[in-house]
Amino acid sequence: MTLVAIIGAALGFMVLIILHELGHFTAAKAVGMRVERFALFFPPLLLRKKIGETEYALGSIPAGGYVKISGMNPDEDLPDEVRTRAYYSQPVWKRIVVIGAGPLVNFVLAFILLLVVFALIGTESVTDRVGTVEKGYPAAGAVEPGDRIVSVDGRRGDTEVLSKAISDNECAGGAERKGCRAAQPVQLVVERDGKPRPLELSPIYDPAAERTRLGFAYAPGPREALPLLPAVAFTADRFLFITWETIKVPARLFDAEKRKEITGIVGGYEITRRTILDDAADVVGILGVISLGLAVINMFPFLPLDGGHIFWAIVEKVRRRPVPFSVMERAGVVGFMLVMVLFVIGFTNDLGRLAGEGFDVR
């Protein structure tokens, strides 16, 4: 089953990237640009076949794909019959269409996948019983899987009400630092073996959750799908929420605690792999979130990202003359460094999670 999970996770990532490149390819063909090559996977190439003016190839490194359009570098030396259909010979709107088509595919795919989850597959409901207890938290050794949470500080209600009753107990002085204990303990009543058991526990602050917690998770209940219209509305809400959270990722670089939350390619892959092992239905939602994240990050206005190409195309339109390629190259260094910093931090965090507490897939 592990091999199936590994292959499934890898295929999921590759499909997202290939569909992204297929968006660029289709748009370039549609607006009349000359596409030299459309490749599945990266070189060295194993197979290649030229159909018309485009070479279709299969690479040996299974990490996505790429599209090569003539004239992506304005200084590229091209024959006259090719130069007229080269990328930088085209009007700005065509370039924006071609570059924007890749992220657009990921945006649309993300919305569809999330809608499938909420309208067809359904999301897991939660019960009022404890499912798992985390080591190193106050609940460990006091609360047991299968316990039913009856009340918190005398408050009863659904899991959301009970969770809020716990998180209302903040650290002394409102200090929000990892591991700080709430100023007041909570009076927890659980039902175990049909009998109520009172417990007094002090929640501790979890920076990832941005609240105080006791360290237990509720057991999952049956999946519940939404009717179509509410599902569309809920999908749109989650779509916008994930988009905004992804946009804020660069800001996390300047906060030591937030920096630890950044996840990279390894993390996304591992979460997907473990989700396949745990519940294959959740893979659809995970891939939807990853597709949306890829789209948003690709739209950051820095070269070599798609958003960087669109940004400089708009600058050219505003100033009514081409931007020197040397200027774009120098500006691209900033974007490249940002991408590399995010990659390194995400990769380092992922390795730390793999070696330590692992990834939370729920």
Three-state secondary structure call for residue 146: coil
| Best CA proximity match to 64, nearest among 290, 334, 299, 245 | 290
Q: b or e along 166-182 (b: 16 or more beta carbons within 10 Å of the residue's beta carbon)?
A: bbbbbbeeeeeeeebbb
Largest Cα–Cα separation, the chain = 86
Q: Of residues 21, 191, 257, 357, which has the active-site annotation?
A: 21
List own/partner pairs for 234-237 with CB under 8 A and 24 or more apart: 234/118, 235/111, 235/114, 235/115, 235/118, 235/119, 236/111
21 is catalytic: yes
Three-state secondary structure call for residue 18: helix
Distance CA 104, CA 301 (A): 15
CA 270 vs CA 9, 108, 123, 273, 274: distances in Å: 8, 24, 21, 5, 6
Active site residues: 21
